[in-house]
Amino acid sequence: MLTSETRNWDELVKRHTAFWACAETDRPLIVALYRAYQDTELVAAAVGRFEPSGELTPERVDPQPLLHVYDEMAAARAAIGDDMIAPAEPLLGIPWLEAICGCRVMVPEGKSLWPEATDETRSAQAIRFSPDNPWFRRLLAVQEAVVAHAAGRYPVSMSHLRGPTDILSAMLGSQPFLTALMDEPERVARLAQGAAQVWRAVAAAQEAVVPAYRGGYAIRQFGLWSPGRSVWLQDDTSSMMSLRHYRRTFLEPMRTMSVYPFGVLHLHAPSLHIAETLADLPNIRAINVYFDSPAVTLQAALPALQRLQARRMPLILAKDVYAGFTLAEYREIMDGLSPNGLSVHLKAESVEEGRAVMAKTQAQQKAGR
């Protein structure tokens, strides 16, 4: 079991600090994606318990059976020797904010977790937060258990909280949400701002629970250490609308959420048309792009990524939460982008492969690739 960080912490901090500043560096931050995340299916199996209805209720969420996984994740980072800071996050995969906003949480066959609209959420005219919400209380209980278990051996991050388009898509249903965006723009704008306010309240409550780690904070699955409070910002459903519609309805709610000094904006490649606009918001300090859609290739995305780098916007590139790029794709990335302010998640399926990935990227660096 990991008892403390065994890598050269001063070197790690130097590299992570350089990332945020887009400072000159010899290579990007490298994450070898072996045991880098707490598996969503593992969480689903642990908490779902195959209820006939398929619905998960908050009182059934018990983090204790999975706390050891955080130890294993942190130990893997030390064994591989990559650049990832392994934070413990309160049960990856549970749609905490959607549940707090009224959605049911479904766990069919203990294999996945997703939010489901109810009659109440479909007809909602406003979103309001209550500190007595059972899903909110359970999130804080889980967060406190994770903090106690980590006990300063590795950092703890805030939970996964999605953005306004994602919350409304869950509450209303995907197609009804897009229809409402056209037919009821004032209602959608009101709900979006309400979702942002609930996000603020839930994040603030976690801020009071999550301690600093070695003078800074770590942010979810990105594995980044920052000298100030960091947070994940996400709005995946933005890929389903034009930039004009997004600006009109969702830009201000995202501004409401962008209050922590080291915000990382997570998007999928089809949402790159939104990225440059969101990059103008205060406290957006880095952008993560997942290339999990065949609709947008690395080559097609390079012009937008290069424009973001020209603005000194740090980038975190991966295929998705579990899949990293191959070494051939890494070379393609490095042919098109600067290593300054860049983090790349690479494929690895064992500690040994992770070590080999690190050795090969370092060899490419020395060879000038």
d(CA 364, CA 42) in angstroms, rounded, equals 36
Those residues with Cβ within 8 angstroms of residue 208's Cβ, 6 or more apart along the chain or in another chain: none
Question: Is there a domain that residue 95 lies in?
Answer: yes
CB 104 within 8 A of CB 94: no
Question: Is there a domain that residue 326 lies in?
Answer: yes
Question: Is there a domain that residue 2 lies in?
Answer: no
d(CA 182, CA 201) in angstroms, rounded, equals 29
- Which residue range(s) make up the domain with 262? 9-366
Whether pTM > 0.85 for this model: the answer is: yes
**pLDDT at position 86:** 87
Question: Is there a domain that residue 70 lies in?
Answer: yes
Number of domains in the chain: 1
Terminal CA-CA length for the chain: 37
Question: Is there a domain that residue 3 lies in?
Answer: no
Strands (E), the chain: 29-33, 55-56, 104-106, 114-116, 217-219, 224-226, 230-234, 262-268, 284-290, 315-318, 342-347
**pLDDT at position 368:** 64
Question: Is there a domain that residue 4 lies in?
Answer: no
Is beta strand 217-219 parallel, antiparallel or unpaired with respect to 224-226? Answer: antiparallel
d(CA 300, CA 150) in angstroms, rounded, equals 41
Question: Is there a domain that residue 259 lies in?
Answer: yes
d(CA 160, CA 55) in angstroms, rounded, equals 20
d(CA 287, CA 9) in angstroms, rounded, equals 24
Name beta bridge partners: 230. 262
Is beta strand 262-268 parallel, antiparallel or unpaired with respect to 284-290? Answer: parallel
**pLDDT at position 51:** 67
d(CA 212, CA 197) in angstroms, rounded, equals 24
Here the CATH number for the domain that contains residue 318 is 3.20.20.210
Adjacency order of strands within the sheet including 342-347: 29-33, 342-347, 315-318, 284-290, 262-268, 230-234
Question: Is there a domain that residue 352 lies in?
Answer: yes
Would you give per-residue pLDDT tens digits along the chain (369 residues)? 454 566 889 999 999 999 999 999 999 999 998 888 877 878 887 886 656 778 999 999 999 989 999 999 999 988 999 999 989 999 888 999 999 999 999 987 777 889 999 999 999 999 999 999 999 999 999 999 999 999 999 999 999 999 999 999 999 999 999 999 999 999 999 999 999 999 999 999 999 999 999 999 998 788 899 999 999 999 989 888 899 999 999 999 999 999 999 999 999 998 898 899 999 999 999 999 999 888 899 999 999 999 999 999 999 999 987 789 999 999 999 999 999 999 999 999 999 999 999 999 988 777 765
